């Protein structure tokens, strides 16, 4: 006999227990979902907020306020460098005895300025990437400083060779052999002895400057990063102008320190050169663990050599200008230094933007034509316009300070109002050209896969040197021919 199947019975107890179990499972699932996804949602929201805050462009007031004091201090450094070089040109016998000194100064100033600004640009990029918050940043900075030291010595030797070549193919070589300025036999140096003497003095000068400037610039970038300022707006003008002042001052100091011995024997300069050459592999070995630093040294070497060749041409123009117009050096450091500073600020900002965002708001069509570039409404073009329109007031302000200081030194520089009107026009032409070249050089290097931090600033500052020297020399010659 088949028993009928028992149908399931549902008692109130059974129903309530199953509902409780279902509710508990839903609560467990709900809690697990919240626990799993809430942190991810919050993290995503924070990431979006961070990205939005990073993409918010700086206002013109922020850029102007952050760069105002550095540009002022940089201008003061350029004034001091120019007046010091003018004083040396007018008063010191060293320039009469060794006119190659004036040929060598622009490449040395450019070398130190290039290395300091590229070093500061690399430090600024590291700060933007957050590397300053990571362990081992001090070791990385030391290795980058070692690379700068090796590059300083190597390019200094190249610059001295180029200067020696320029002196021997121009009239300067005949003037340096003229002993009419002194009856002391220790002052009679031929071209080779003069070159050895200048090479030894310049090597010590750039080595000391490198140690001082790299420590100073890293400190500035670090504190700018701690205070949440943009180091690109601050460090470039300080590095270039302070480097100019230190280069000229230390070069004069070491020249006078070694000058008494150079007349008797060339042994001391030769020993300095040999030690410097042997130290280059040591500095590179110290930086060898840092692949980025070594790659930087390899990539930047040819650029620095090319920039030194261009700066030597500026040195020849400066030497001719200083001999014909004694006040020429006072304005050369101002017009070249301040224009190079502003171009370096723009180049450093564009380089950091391209490194972080991997794209550009402007294409070739807008960049190739100065009119379309300066008329653009993107943040980069607005920054370029700000740097251009504030260049003339800054220049004339520092020219005024330089004039007052020259009166205080009882050796006044130019006083003709026509000179200052023409100088203002020259400043606008040069700054317009340098800022346009800055963005074009950086974008070209980035498009070709080269790091603008390593190549742009040396090319830019050497162009500023040649452009400034040529325009200023043309200004003096034109006024002299027109008004006598």
Structure tokens at 146: 């070692």
Q: Where would I find the H helices in 130-190?
A: 137-169, 172-176
Distance CA 349, CA 329 (A): 30
Question: What's the structural domain count of the chain?
Answer: 1
Distance CA 160, CA 104 (A): 7
Range of the domain at 338: 61-483
The verdict on residue 22 lying in a domain is no
How high is the pLDDT of residue 227? 80
pTM: 0.70
Nearest-5° angle of CA 280, CA 281, CA 284?
90
How high is the pLDDT of residue 76? 74
Distance CA 67, CA 58 (A): 12
How high is the pLDDT of residue 262? 67
The verdict on residue 384 lying in a domain is yes
The verdict on residue 473 lying in a domain is yes
The verdict on residue 23 lying in a domain is no
Chain position carrying tokens 């390019």: 155
The verdict on residue 183 lying in a domain is yes
The verdict on residue 347 lying in a domain is yes
Q: What interhelical angle do 267-286 and 235-262 show, nearest 10?
A: 150
Chain position carrying tokens 């317009």: 432
How high is the pLDDT of residue 258? 82
How high is the pLDDT of residue 431? 92
How high is the pLDDT of residue 66? 67
User: Which of helix, strand or coil describes residue 7?
Assistant: coil
The verdict on residue 29 lying in a domain is no
107 — alpha (psi -120 to 50), left (phi > 0) or beta? alpha
* Spans of the chain below 70 pLDDT: 1-60, 62-68, 71, 74, 170-191, 232-233, 236-237, 239-241, 262-264, 408-413, 484
The verdict on residue 10 lying in a domain is no
């Amino acid at each position: 006999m088949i028993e009928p199947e028992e149908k399931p019975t549902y008692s109130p107890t059974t129903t309530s227990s199953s509902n409780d179990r279902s509710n508990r499972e839903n609560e467990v699932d709900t809690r697990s979902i919240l626990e799993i996804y809430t942190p991810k949602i919050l993290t995503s929201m924070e990431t979006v907020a961070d990205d939005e805050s990073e993409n918010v462009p700086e206002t013109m007031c922020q850029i102007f306020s952050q760069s105002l004091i550095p540009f002022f201090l940089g201008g003061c450094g350029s004034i001091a460098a120019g007046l010091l070089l003018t004083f040396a040109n007018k008063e010191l016998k060293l320039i009469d005895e060794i006119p190659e000194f004036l040929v060598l100064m622009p490449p040395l100033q450019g070398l130190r300025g290039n290395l300091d600004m590229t070093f500061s640009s690399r430090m600024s990029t590291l700060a933007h990437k957050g590397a300053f918050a990571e362990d081992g940043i001090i070791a990385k900075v030391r290795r980058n400083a070692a690379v700068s030291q090796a590059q300083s010595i190597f390019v200094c030797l190249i610059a001295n060779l180029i200067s020696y070549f320029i002196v021997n193919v121009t009239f300067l070589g005949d003037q340096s052999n003229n002993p009419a300025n002194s009856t002391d036999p220790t002052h009679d140096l031929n071209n080779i002895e003069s070159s050895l003497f200048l090479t030894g003095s310049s090597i010590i000068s750039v080595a000391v400057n490198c140690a001082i400037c790299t420590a100073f610039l890293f400190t500035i970038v670090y504190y700018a990063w701690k205070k949440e300022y943009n180091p690109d707006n601050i460090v470039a003008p300080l590095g270039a102008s302070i480097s100019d002042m230190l280069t000229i001052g230390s070069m004069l100091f070491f020249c006078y320190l070694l000058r008494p011995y150079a007349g008797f024997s060339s042994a001391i300069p030769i020993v300095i050169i040999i030690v410097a050459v042997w130290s280059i592999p040591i500095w590179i070995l110290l930086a060898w663990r840092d692949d980025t630093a070594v790659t930087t040294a390899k990539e930047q070497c040819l650029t620095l050599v090319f920039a030194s060749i261009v700066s030597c041409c500026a040195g020849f123009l400066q030497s001719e200008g200083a001999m014909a117009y004694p006040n020429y050096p006072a304005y050369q450091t101002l017009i070249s230094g301040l224009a190079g500073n502003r171009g370096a600020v723009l180049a450093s900002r564009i380089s950091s933007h391209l490194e972080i965002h991997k794209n550009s708001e402007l294409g070739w069509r807008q960049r190739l034509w100065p009119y379309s570039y300066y008329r653009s409404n993107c943040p980069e073009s607005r920054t370029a316009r700000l740097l251009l329109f504030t260049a003339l007031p800054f220049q004339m302000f520092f020219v005024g300070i330089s004039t007052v200081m020259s009166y205080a030194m009882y050796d006044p520089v130019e006083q003709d109002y026509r000179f200052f009107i023409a100088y203002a026009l020259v400043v606008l032409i040069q700054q317009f050209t340098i800022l346009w070249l800055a963005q074009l050089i950086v974008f070209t290097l980035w498009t070709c896969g080269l790091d603008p931090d390593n190549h742009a600033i040396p090319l830019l500052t050497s162009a500023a040197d040649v452009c400034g020297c040529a325009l200023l020399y043309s200004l003096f010659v034109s006024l002299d021919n027109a008004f006598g």
